[in-house]
A and B are shown apart, each in its own frame.
Chain A
Amino acid sequence: DTEVTQTPKHLVMGMTNKKSLKCEQHMGHRAMYWYKQKAKKPPELMFVYSYEKLSINESVPSRFSPECPNSSLLNLHLHALQPEDSALYLCASSQDAAGAPPAEQYFGPGTRLTVT
């Protein structure tokens, strides 16, 4: 089973709203990731969690706040977003970790976010 699930599939929110994106994997993967993908562009890394600890923040604005409640779950809390934040938000997971052999990342189906 190489499934990563994400909810919701679609989200429309106003600039003053607070919402959360959720991601779940049951593959025992130690690393989880958030990516942002704009139309006709490749995914751009936002955050990496390794063993439930934030290991990489790619200078993402504070209106995006990640959280890893346990090894299977990853959330992305959204607050005061801008219209330019509208994009497909992808979650991924892998067995990859520092010092371990490299491993592929498996992506969830994404949440298509529209900020109005």
Chain B
Amino acid sequence: EDKVVQSPLSLVVHEGDTVTLNCSYEVTNFRSLLWYKQEKKAPTFLFMLTSSGIEKKSGRLSSILDKKELFSILNITATQTGDSAVYLCALTGTASKLTFGTGTRLQVTL
């Protein structure tokens, strides 16, 4: 069975800090790894990673995948209070199913 483990479970940082969120996984047939941000309602898509070592970047957020060591990280630089959310890592294996990790709850304080 596919498995996704995220760490830390929660994190409190000060505005301006840089944070690194971790996601490790076990999967039978890897297709992609995705990161989502969830505030009050639906998860919003951040990145999809399919190849090792290629960094995806969007503004202050970036992510990279290591398919040999079976993990991904999500970096957020110069954090802002609007970055406060739950960050979900998810895996697609066979059959287009998304298997989610439990999420990392990030709180950015002033």
Q: Which of B2-56 contact A (CB under 8 A)?
A: 31-32, 34, 36, 41-45, 48, 50
B-to-A contact residues, CB < 8 Å: 31-32, 34, 36, 41-45, 48, 50, 88, 90, 92, 95-103
A-to-B contact residues, CB < 8 Å: 2, 4, 31, 33, 41-45, 48, 50, 55-56, 88, 90, 92, 94, 96-98, 102-110
On whether the beta carbons of B50 and A102 are closer than 8 Å, the reply is: yes
On whether the beta carbons of B96 and A48 are closer than 8 Å, the reply is: yes
A43 to B103, CA, bound (A): 10
- B-side contacts of A96, CB under 8 Å: 92, 96
Seed contacts A45-B98, A104-B32; 9 additional CB < 8 Å A-B pairs: A2-B45, A42-B102, A43-B43, A43-B100, A56-B95, A102-B48, A104-B48, A107-B42, A109-B41
On whether the beta carbons of B98 and A105 are closer than 8 Å, the reply is: yes
Smallest Cβ-Cβ distance to A112: which chain B residue:
B41
On whether the beta carbons of B96 and A104 are closer than 8 Å, the reply is: no
A102 to B93, CA, bound (A): 9
* Minimum CB–CB distance for A93 against chain B, Å: 11
On whether the beta carbons of B31 and A41 are closer than 8 Å, the reply is: no
Smallest Cβ-Cβ distance to B44: which chain A residue:
A107
Give the 6 A-B CB pairs with smallest separation, nearest first: A42-B100, A102-B32, A107-B42, A102-B31, A96-B96, A104-B48
A106 to B92, CA, bound (A): 14
* Minimum CB–CB distance for B95 against chain A, Å: 6
